[in-house]
Structure 1
Amino acid sequence: MTARTLAALVVAGVTLLVGGCASQPTMQGDLVIAKQGSFFVGGREVRSDKMSMVPTVTAAGTIVVDQMYVRYQVPPSAKRFPIVMVHGCCLTGKTWETTPDGRMGWDEFFLRKGYGTYVVDQAWRGRSAWNPAAINQVKAGAAAPDTLPTLFAAGQEPAWAIFRFGPEHGKTFPGMKFPLDAQAEFWKQMVPDWFNALPMPNPTVPSLGELARKLNGAVLMSHSQSGIYPFQAAALDTTGIAAIVSIEPSACPAVTSDLTPYTKMPILVLYGDYMELSPRWAPRLKLCREFVAAANARGGKAQLVVLPEIGIPGNSHMLMQDTNSLEIAEWLSKWLDGALRTGG
């Protein structure tokens, strides 16, 4: 690429074309990145004499756990506030990357929109290390089996309903837009989850606040299990949290809690379709509606949006991977631009 071509791309931006349907944007052109890299936030050292059960590896030693992995990309002339993207249960930062059927992920979309993107792996997930000592203690006979940490994995059959692909495994909701032809690739994203073995708040929570402060301000965008994390981070310290975008949160702050922190930044709670058809999700939507109303009654700038109510139907729990994911991202980028410009 010539210097003239590169300069033209930076000045003019990436051309926005319409592909597939009138409401589904497709971005084309070279992706221009000013800087990228990765680092960790948080972490603590732990020592054990049962770090290994492999004969050729010394058993005793010290490791670091509770750290949160962060991979970032920043475009030229980046907007003031970057977006920190936090995945949900049984997943990693892959959630925000290339979709199972090979389309652009939200990490790239928002990068092309001018936002720095910081994609994390929660503590004890993905590239954020976990502590094997408790398991090795039991294997060595030095601890009782009931001391084992609680670890789980979501099987494809129950996850089908949890992610609202349909009411039960193998059945789909009418018009549901998750790319089921590529579901084999989606299931490869699933990983074991240590959530129930970790202290509260999850170590990821203070790390999110630390990252927001390190960046001198950031949008915290969470999903599902991590939906509550930005709120928990704000309850600890609102410094650096420019906005909260909680996508399909499994919980919102209780209306009986101190809502003061949530009046200090614009907040969006976003849900997809088929909510009332899901015994798991309908009560969560109700409680989040109550939270938004209570926060606004105290002077907050919170908004709850259910996509079919604004004319975007068919979305599953994994709406950032659905076939209309870029349509949603385009809507969300406009919401962010407005909220960050006006403070809500």
Structure 2
Amino acid sequence: MKTIETALTAMSLTLLAACTTLPGESGGSRGTSSTGPLVIQEQGSFAVGGKVVSTPGTYNNNSPSAAGQTFHGDHLYAFYQVPANSRPLPIVMLHGAFQSGRSWESTPDGREGFQSIFLRRGFPVYLVDQPRRGRAGSSTVATTTEPTPLDQLFFDQFRLGKWPAYFQNAQFDRKPETLNQFLRSVTPNTGPYDAGVISDAMAALFDKTGPAVLFSHSQAGGPGWLTAIKSQNVKGIVALEPGSGFIFPEGEMPAVMPSAAGPLAPEAVPLADFKKLTRVPIVIYYGDNFPVEPTTERGQDNWRVRLAMARLWVAAVNKHGGDAQLVHLPQIGIRGNTHFLMSDLNNVQIADLVSQFLTSKKLD
């Protein structure tokens, strides 16, 4: 692999990031991006996992039909970058619902996201578009995608505020163009959501990367746990606000949790599979602006039950000898975070917490 020089010439690949401090309405750290060239030694993209579906019959070159043809689908798309003098363990970043690998790239207001932040810290980074989403849109199962208006629901559910007002301390830039960029990151499913299909493809990705750390966001929590069960190459998990797919051992299921946003139900797996989660260190982070007691506010009560279920999940992992922890950011004095911790105004501060975890678990 040839190192890509950072001279400002036509033959160079130089990614510059301005050092900026952004204003906000809350107290906490806003953080600054590193300045100067980001030196990339290698980058590329590929598909992995999935299956090939065949149609019976014989293909006719001059009168083509479905007969005798094949269809490649249900794979994931991965884009990777390896910085110069990289650390040994890559980071694989898996997005949440209605999102793509875009979640980890530049923030809606134009700062560096977790992709660049952790590249600067020396980690190879793999960004994933999960099967049936984004650049991995070939689904072997049909669905119907409708142009359903959901912008205001997302504003509430992702805890920017209560439409049309932002939370007073929300770590989100208030410029109209920032909200425009945020809402344009929404990406529909091209096939039914299937945690098994996603985790199968993710396990195939970890076969390719070798040992690596998994970062998951929101809906990716469930597929993330399943990926760690299916692949011994998952060496640690950083889960940002897991929203569904909380798996428990058969016979140890907590009760379904009702909320103003609908019930949250646990999912059962064999105890032998669940115990595979105890071999890796896990940390879960949740942000701010939702209560720990029931409320009629849909967008906030949605996260109350997810935090409560996550606490039970962490206890279950540790009960079986695991190493899991949960950090509720307001309890450690970090306030205003939305559902998108990795792109909030204080995302460098959040990345610092993650880096401390990685160091403490010898994952860096």
> TM-score per shorter chain, which class?
0.7 to 0.9
Judge conservation of contact 1:93–1:121 (CA < 8 Å) in 2: yes
1:74 maps to 2:82: yes
> Structure 2 vs 1, CA of residues 198 and 318 (structure 1 numbering), >3 Å: closer, same or farther?
closer
> Structure 2 vs 1, CA of residues 300 and 67 (structure 1 numbering), >3 Å: closer, same or farther?
same
Structure 1 position 15, deviation (Å): 12
- Once the two structures are overlaid, the 10-residue window that deviates more, 80-89 or 248-257, is 248-257
Cα RMSD for the two superposed structures: 3.0
1:161 maps to 2:156: yes
1:308 maps to 2:325: no
Provide the residue aligned with 1:262 in structure 2: 277
For residues 237-248 of structure 1, the aligned pairs below 5 Å read: 237=231, 239-248=232-241
Judge conservation of contact 1:25–1:330 (CA < 8 Å) in 2: no
Unaligned stretches of 5+ residues in structure 2: 9-15, 23-27, 57-62, 253-268
| Structure 2 residue identity aligned to 1:159 | F
Provide the residue aligned with 2:313 in structure 1: 291
Could you tell me how far apart the structure 1 residues matched to 2:201 and 2:141 are? 23
Judge conservation of contact 1:243–1:340 (CA < 8 Å) in 2: no
Could you tell me how far apart the structure 2 residues matched to 1:25 and 1:285 are? 29
Could you tell me how far apart the structure 1 residues matched to 2:238 and 2:183 are? 25
1:130 maps to 2:138: yes
| Structure 1 residue identity aligned to 2:151 | Q
Identical aligned residues as a percent? 35
How many residues end up aligned between the 2 structures? Answer: 310
Could you tell me how far apart the structure 2 residues matched to 1:5 and 1:47 are? 49
| Structure 2 residue identity aligned to 1:267 | I
For residues 104-183 of structure 1, the aligned pairs below 5 Å read: 104-131=112-139, 134=142, 149=143, 151=145, 155-167=150-162, 169-181=163-175, 182-183=178-179
TM-score by length of 1: 0.81
Judge conservation of contact 2:216–2:224 (CA < 8 Å) in 1: yes
Structure (1/2) with the larger helix percentage: 1
| Structure 2 residue identity aligned to 1:269 | I
Structure 1 position 29, deviation (Å): 1.1
Could you tell me how far apart the structure 2 residues matched to 1:4 and 1:27 are? 16
| Structure 2 residue identity aligned to 1:41 | V
| Structure 1 residue identity aligned to 2:157 | I
Structure 1 position 283, deviation (Å): 0.6
Provide the residue aligned with 1:185 in structure 2: 181
| Structure 2 residue identity aligned to 1:192 | P
Judge conservation of contact 1:242–1:340 (CA < 8 Å) in 2: no
Provide the residue aligned with 1:338 in structure 2: 360
Provide the residue aligned with 2:205 in structure 1: 211
| Structure 1 residue identity aligned to 2:104 | W
Unaligned stretches of 5+ residues in structure 1: 7-13, 50-56, 135-148
Q: Deviations over 1:90-109 (max 9, x none)?
A: 11100000111110111010
Provide the residue aligned with 1:24 in structure 2: 31
Q: Deviations over 1:265-296 (max 9, x none)?
A: 00011111123261111111101101111211
Judge conservation of contact 2:74–2:140 (CA < 8 Å) in 1: no
Structure 1 position 58, deviation (Å): 5.4
Match of 1:274 among 273, 289, 294: 289
For residues 64-103 of structure 1, the aligned pairs below 5 Å read: 64-103=72-111
Provide the residue aligned with 1:10 in structure 2: none
1:33 maps to 2:48: no
Q: Secondary structure at the match of 1:46?
A: strand
Structure 1 position 82, deviation (Å): 0.6
Judge conservation of contact 1:25–1:327 (CA < 8 Å) in 2: no
Judge conservation of contact 1:90–1:154 (CA < 8 Å) in 2: no
> Structure 2 vs 1, CA of residues 158 and 59 (structure 1 numbering), >3 Å: closer, same or farther?
farther
Q: Secondary structure at the match of 1:299?
A: coil
| Structure 2 residue identity aligned to 1:254 | F
| Structure 2 residue identity aligned to 1:183 | L
Could you tell me how far apart the structure 2 residues matched to 1:249 and 1:330 are? 20
Q: Secondary structure at the match of 2:166?
A: coil
TM-score by length of 2: 0.77
